[in-house]
Structure 1
């Protein structure tokens, strides 16, 4: 048996007037996914346990079969692992975004214009992070360059006693009430404030402004955590596997779980990503003997955060055509396979941030096709089935271990 998960990050949403009172999943033309839903098992799953923030970290841990209440240790250490950073047990890690803040006001009165600085290129970002390291790096604090706007700060013998806010949660808001809080908050705040003066006139940013692009004029520190200790995916399920993603967080979860992380040229994490390349890479892994591939697609989530209504619909259509369509053609030669399609969490366009409501899932098996009674795949078709998986981390057990889908 071959197993493939297609994870459309943030794909679930609310019905919107701009989409004829439909959700993006309802609005999108997705014949491949809808066909799977008609012949597979549909339901809802709660991926984010109560009391845990609805981040992609906890949600993807859950989808991958790990109970976030046990294994969740923060977002940034998972990203650090993906970046090849060797973490000590005494290290505390932080996500360090390069963001665009408004000009003119005192720092704490500025507005969060863009959490990604117009999706700054990795090359440009590494120049800026190197400058930040020159100014703030010490024997205990080190900044590491990641991908695009996503970077990491490691503090040896650091503290977890912080209240820090993800920048994508406060778009177009004044940052005043979202500044760092906690016993060591002044240290982090000082770096953020001083970073604005360091970066605003940096040659990289002056060149970006000249091109009509937003400058990466500040760092934003959040997502504190410590080195995770996941049990092996192979030990849990007795199968070999790989993870394919453009996002360090997802790569890090896969690496910590003992899965191979596969890089795809042109994979950006947005609506312009190499959708086809990801599907082809997944098939290559399967053809090489792997049993399981986790294909993560960030685009719907990015569109949700940026309130890009048409692009969110388009991203779902591209996932259907270029990812699911390609996978189905490539899997035809195998006697049997299962494919699961789902989001990790909703990222409603109207809220521009994550929520913790249950999300729709579908599981299809080539040799065990059933009449689901559903016309297609969306939040409401899935809810109508009455199937509800309250403990999200158990869904992977069902996906891999159940003999018959009708037992779900």
Structure 2
């Protein structure tokens, strides 16, 4: 028997007037989901705990049987691994968003209106890697875009290890008991990264993050990509928002050995790919979603059928 585990991230929603006070899922025609609900078992659960709106990494960790309050070491680390960066304990890894910054450190849009192409992001990433020079403490960095407005940032200290015990510069998320949590009703202003303890490792980490944010902003503000976007009336991708810092790899148990299965993951996100790799799964990163939803589904079905004979369990 095969187990196919499909996580439809973010499908839950609220009723809206335009759909007759139905949720998008209630209003949609979903015969296959209806069939599964009618003929299978259904239930409700809190992926992390009641009252917590978790980020995707903590939710996926929990869905796969790991306690996120025990195993999570920061989304930045997981996402950096999923993006193919060489992360070791003592490095500092952060999840990032390209964003649009206005006057007075006001954040105009946290995701550049989701309009930044991966190609544009790659050009901006290259410019930051070539032109930002760190001076606050001895360290190197690599900034890597992943998909659209998403990116990861990895620092490697030339001296003492760095600490992930720092605050987010992204005001939309905060850290609660080591877990990244969405924070409602916040002022959209770029925050300074602050150390969460009085250690040299945390102080150096915060200083490096703040320095990178300021210097990358200077590089991107005058970059040809943003000049072109501004001329076309589109938002600039002129700042990076950082969150979910981590400084050590999570110590996941090997999921295959624990449950005596052969697990594969077909991942849409680099965070999922990182979790799968660290858990011992064979991880495949799917091509990014497009405007052709039917074709996107066909690609995912084909990928599943390709690996179906070789594994017992599949996370999608």
Same topology, TM > 0.5: yes
2:217 to 182, 196, 204: 196
Secondary structure at 1:21 match in 2: coil
Task: Spell out the pairing of 1:3-402 with structure 2 (5 A cutoff).
Answer: 3-49=3-49, 54-102=54-102, 105-106=103-104, 108=105, 110-116=106-112, 118-136=114-132, 140-147=139-146, 148-156=148-156, 157-164=161-168, 166=170, 174-176=187-189, 178-182=191-195, 184=203, 185-225=206-246, 226-265=248-287, 267-268=288-289, 274-286=296-308, 288-295=309-316
Partners in 1 of 2:112 and 2:184 — Cα distance?
11
Higher relative contact order structure (alpha carbons within 8 Å, sequence separation ≥ 6): 1
Q: Does the 8 A contact of 2:171 with 2:188 survive in 1?
A: no
Partners in 2 of 1:178 and 1:14 — Cα distance?
30
Number of positions where the alignment pairs a residue of Structure 1 with one of Structure 2:
289
Q: Does the 8 A contact of 2:97 with 2:241 survive in 1?
A: yes
Partners in 2 of 1:38 and 1:250 — Cα distance?
29
Partners in 1 of 2:286 and 2:9 — Cα distance?
17
The runs of 5 or more residues in structure 1 that have no matched partner are 296-408
Partners in 1 of 2:27 and 2:14 — Cα distance?
11
Partners in 2 of 1:200 and 1:275 — Cα distance?
38
Partners in 1 of 2:216 and 2:187 — Cα distance?
18
Change in Cα spacing, 1:294 to 1:261, as seen in structure 2 (3 Å) is same
What is the CA-CA distance between 1:96 and the residue it aligns to? Answer: 2.4
What is the CA-CA distance between 1:100 and the residue it aligns to? Answer: 1.6
Residue 178 of structure 2: aligned partner: none
Change in Cα spacing, 1:172 to 1:191, as seen in structure 2 (3 Å) is farther
Q: Does the 8 A contact of 1:111 with 1:172 survive in 2?
A: no
Q: Does the 8 A contact of 1:115 with 1:168 survive in 2?
A: no
Change in Cα spacing, 1:222 to 1:46, as seen in structure 2 (3 Å) is same
Q: What root-mean-square deviation, in Å, do the aligned CA atoms of Structure 1 and Structure 2 show?
A: 2.7
Q: Does the 8 A contact of 1:76 with 1:223 survive in 2?
A: yes
Q: Give me the TM-score of the superposition, normalised by structure 2.
A: 0.81
Q: Give me the TM-score of the superposition, normalised by structure 1.
A: 0.64
After superposition, give the CA deviation of every residue in 1:57-114 in whole Å (9 maximum; x if it has no partner): 1101111221112111110111111122121111121112211223xx23x2x13314
Change in Cα spacing, 1:253 to 1:177, as seen in structure 2 (3 Å) is same
What is the CA-CA distance between 1:194 and the residue it aligns to? Answer: 3.2
What is the CA-CA distance between 1:121 and the residue it aligns to? Answer: 2.2
What is the CA-CA distance between 1:211 and the residue it aligns to? Answer: 4.1
Larger CA deviation: 190-199 vs 232-241:
190-199
Partners in 2 of 1:119 and 1:259 — Cα distance?
32
What is the CA-CA distance between 1:165 and the residue it aligns to? Answer: 5.1
What is the CA-CA distance between 1:173 and the residue it aligns to? Answer: 6.8
Q: Does the 8 A contact of 1:199 with 1:216 survive in 2?
A: yes
